[in-house]
Amino acid sequence: MADYAVGDLQGCFTPLQNLLDLVNFNPSRDHLYCVGDVVARGPDSLACLQFLEKHRASVTVTLGNHDLHLLACHFLNKLPNPKDKLGAFFTYSHREALVEFLQAQPLAVFHQASNSLISHAGIYPTWTVELALEFAQFASCCYQSKNAPNYFSSMYGNATLADLNSEIKTDKFKAIVNVFTRMRFLEPNGELNLSNKEGKDSDTNLIPWFTHPALHETPCNLVFGHWAALEGKTERHDIIALDTGYVWGGAMSLLNLNSKEIVQVQANI
Ligand SMILES: [Mn+2]
């Protein structure tokens, strides 16, 4: 029995299969955590979702910005960004079960056996595990409620840290989603900077969330994806970046949560 975490699939199904074969993944015995962005940009988003849904008892996805975008398009009857290559998904007649599977997934999960918190973009540096899970729970209650369309329509745009404690539920939802799914850098005042997507040393005025002094001692191991420009490097053994940019010509990374061993499949370009 082993538990694995895989970096952003971004609609790339073949390398996922290759990685699972490499570790002899057995869904009746093992568990797969996807750090989110299982869809978009790559060629096989539909196949990724079909596979994950088929093995849903052995799969957990911590939703990423692209996964939420797919749900938003579904619930708001909007066309996805053509760059996301989601056409096959939105013309697939049995997509309801896939939507229902994705909507049932959390924004963050704590893996007890390895003392790891898994989420798409990370956690805000000052958060405890308990607070992170509380925020994740608040947000999933929003997008799993009958008011989900309302929350999806208010999801985009900047929010401030103060909005995390807002009485206005849609503002609080947006602020939580921004931390868990869109965060890379913080401004010197601690607010999120959502525009810089480059590497961690690209702007010395900005602070990568995981080098913030509050994380000098992490509350637990932190496992995340989302930031391909890091190329898997955080210079910390307890903060593990799994998005190694397969869809951009890099690699897909699979972490054994218990042993911390990582196996990779390289893109052939
Ligand atoms: Mn992402």
- Condensed to tens digits (0 to 9), the pLDDT of residues 61-110 reads 999 999 999 999 999 999 999 999 999 999 999 999 999 999 999 999 99
Residue 121 Cα to ligand 1 midpoint, Å, equals 7
Residue 35 Cα to ligand 1 midpoint, Å, equals 9
Under the banding of pLDDT at 50, 70 and 90, the label for residue 33 is very high
Residue 30 Cα to ligand 1 midpoint, Å, equals 25
pLDDT at 211 over 70: yes
Q: Give pLDDT, residue 193.
A: 96
Q: Give pLDDT, residue 52.
A: 98
pLDDT at 265 over 70: yes
- Identify the structural domains of the chain with CATH numbers, from first to last: 3-266 (3.60.21.10)
Residue 228 Cα to ligand 1 midpoint, Å, equals 9
pLDDT at 268 over 90: no
Q: Give pLDDT, residue 169.
A: 98
Beta strands in 166-248 (DSSP E): 185-186, 192-193, 207-208, 221-224, 239-241
Rounded CA-CA distance 167/212 in Å is 27
Residue 181 Cα to ligand 1 midpoint, Å, equals 6
**Per residue in 140-149, pLDDT tens?**
999 999 999 9
**Per residue in 223-254, pLDDT tens?**
999 999 999 999 999 999 999 999 999 999 99
User: Considering only CA atoms, which of 50, 40, 120 is closest in space to residue 72?
Assistant: 40
Rounded CA-CA distance 8/192 in Å is 21
User: In the numeric block, which tokens belong to residue 232?
Assistant: 């898997």
Residue 94 Cα to ligand 1 midpoint, Å, equals 26
Per DSSP, the chain holds a count of helices (H) and strands (E) of 8, 12
Question: Model-level pTM greater than 0.95?
Answer: yes
Residue 120 Cα to ligand 1 midpoint, Å, equals 7
Residue 41 Cα to ligand 1 midpoint, Å, equals 11
Q: Give pLDDT, residue 95.
A: 96
Mean pLDDT on 119-148? 98
**Per residue in 45-64, pLDDT tens?**
999 999 999 999 999 999 99
Residue 267 Cα to ligand 1 midpoint, Å, equals 19
Residue 26 Cα to ligand 1 midpoint, Å, equals 27
Percent of the chain exceeding pLDDT 90 equals: 98
Mean pLDDT on 20-33? 98
> 111 pairs with which residues across the strands?
116
Contact present, 69 and 104 (Cβ < 8 Å): no
Rounded CA-CA distance 234/255 in Å is 15
Under the banding of pLDDT at 50, 70 and 90, the label for residue 158 is confident
Rounded CA-CA distance 203/55 in Å is 41
The pLDDT mean for the chain works out to 97
Residue 225 has a CB neighbour count (10 Å cut-off) of: 31
Residue 225 Cα to ligand 1 midpoint, Å, equals 7
Residue 56 Cα to ligand 1 midpoint, Å, equals 21
Q: Give pLDDT, residue 269.
A: 62
Q: Give pLDDT, residue 59.
A: 98
